[in-house]
Amino acid sequence: MPVGSVSVGSVSVGSLRSVGAAVLAPGSPGAAVRAADAQDEAPWVWPTGSRIVERGWEAPADDYAPGHRGIDVAASIGTPAVAVASGTVSFAGSVAGRGVVSIDHGGGLVSTLDSVDPSVSTWDEVDQGSTVGTVSVGHCPASAPCLHLGARVDGRYVNPLPYLPAAEWPVLLPDDAWPG
């Protein structure tokens, strides 16, 4: 059941448990083509078995302002991380002590997985869903591990949610709202 709305740069979340995603045409980060109602209609796949978003996109005011330039997907340490779409590995290595894999999908679209132990090398060709590494400690605290998924179009960070099938959002409910 969808909650709120999704657009590049913002997510509105109400009191329900999942959110729909809008599919964007690569190369035009602000143009929502349509809402993706079915999982197989989204251009990307989730990078781990989880669709739980622990922290969403927070658009920065400008290129150097604070923000959260991606989403944090709940994942255990050691979970396989997969390519969200086919492409060429443009970077696989360490950034600020954390493992990172970036994949160029063509048309100016690049995805980044952070923190991972890469199992691929720069210039490797990867297929959608193929393992590119395993989730490691780094971006999120070890007590709540996650995989950070970023997206860039023509070098500018964009919200990756519109490229993915529907997400699940953790929702805190008051004690009296639980069934039973």
Q: Which domains does the chain have, with CATH numbers?
A: 6-173 (2.70.70.10)
pLDDT of residue 94: 96
Count helices and strands (H / E) in the chain: 0, 17
Each residue's pLDDT expressed in tens, for the chain with a length of 180 residues: 333 333 333 333 332 223 333 333 333 333 223 333 444 578 999 999 899 998 888 888 887 887 788 999 999 999 999 999 999 999 999 999 999 999 999 999 999 999 899 999 999 999 999 999 999 988 777 677 899 999 999 999 999 999 999 887 666 667 676 565
User: What b-and-e string marks burial along 148-168, b requiring 16 or more CB atoms within 10 Å of the CB?
Assistant: bbbbbbeeebbbbbbbbbbbe
